[in-house]
Amino acid sequence: MKVLFQDENLIAIDKPAGFHVHPHEERRHRVPREQVCLYAVRDLVGKHVYPVHRLDAGTSGVLIFALSSDAARTMCELFNERTVKKTYRAVVRGFVKETDSIALPLELDSTGTPVDALTEYRRLATKEFAVKIGNRFPTARYSLVEVYPHTGRYHQIRRHFNRISHPLLGDAEHGDTRHNQFFRNELGIDGLCLRATGVSFKHPWSGEELLLKTSDSDFSNENDAAKWNKIHLLFPH
């Protein structure tokens, strides 16, 4: 695990894709211990740690843990108050608008109740291949986007882009199987194309504006490096 930041209250890591934040609550979905960030970070710092937000298993990037229960409560309040700004990078099917916002309600995973959800994005680059995938377009078209979720709903980015007909590449649950296969088999890009590149907030204890961000050239593991290096070569910007 690459450490992005650490002080007496917090530690931030670059979470590798394929790792879970914490063990699954249901025994039938048990995750190997060596693929759980909670245990890895606890072993790294030699004490209990407390996750203050989540990233999907397939998503890599900035993940923050508190180093005490009091610090965890404080950080969770910041996330609940929506004063924490998060930035992601993703590859989506099709050519999206240069900038736009997606304000579509999403159902809670626990009850199915629709709740407000807001995601803004800007397009960084596009790529087109002279290959027909499906029946709608004669070519395969993709966009690299920077994404700014203002709410933190379950699978928010993945679900929002799917609902505007621009699903994320590599998304097995909300994506397009044919385009996922093209990326995997023809381009050698496997897995979810979603990375948490930055988290910023006012540090509750020091009062400074803190920006925690990943590097485009330094990754926690070789698989993430290989995938995003290929993506960046596809989308020079």
Residues annotated as catalytic are 56
Query: In this structure, are strands 106-107 and 114-115 parallel, antiparallel, or unpaired?
Result: antiparallel
- Using alpha carbons, select from 57, 77, 73 the residue that is nearest to residue 191: 57
User: Which residues, including other chains, have CB under 8 Å from residue 176's CB and lie 6 or more apart?
Assistant: 93, 134, 167
Q: How far apart are the first and last CA of the chain?
A: 28
Tokens of 67: 């180093």
Instruction: Tell me the CA distances in angstroms from 138 to 130, 134, 135, 162, 170, one per residue in order.
Output: 7, 8, 8, 21, 21
Residue corresponding to tokens 């979603």:
194
Strands (E), 94-208: 99-102, 106-107, 114-115, 119-129, 140-149, 194-202
CA 43, CA 55: separation in Å to the nearest integer?
20
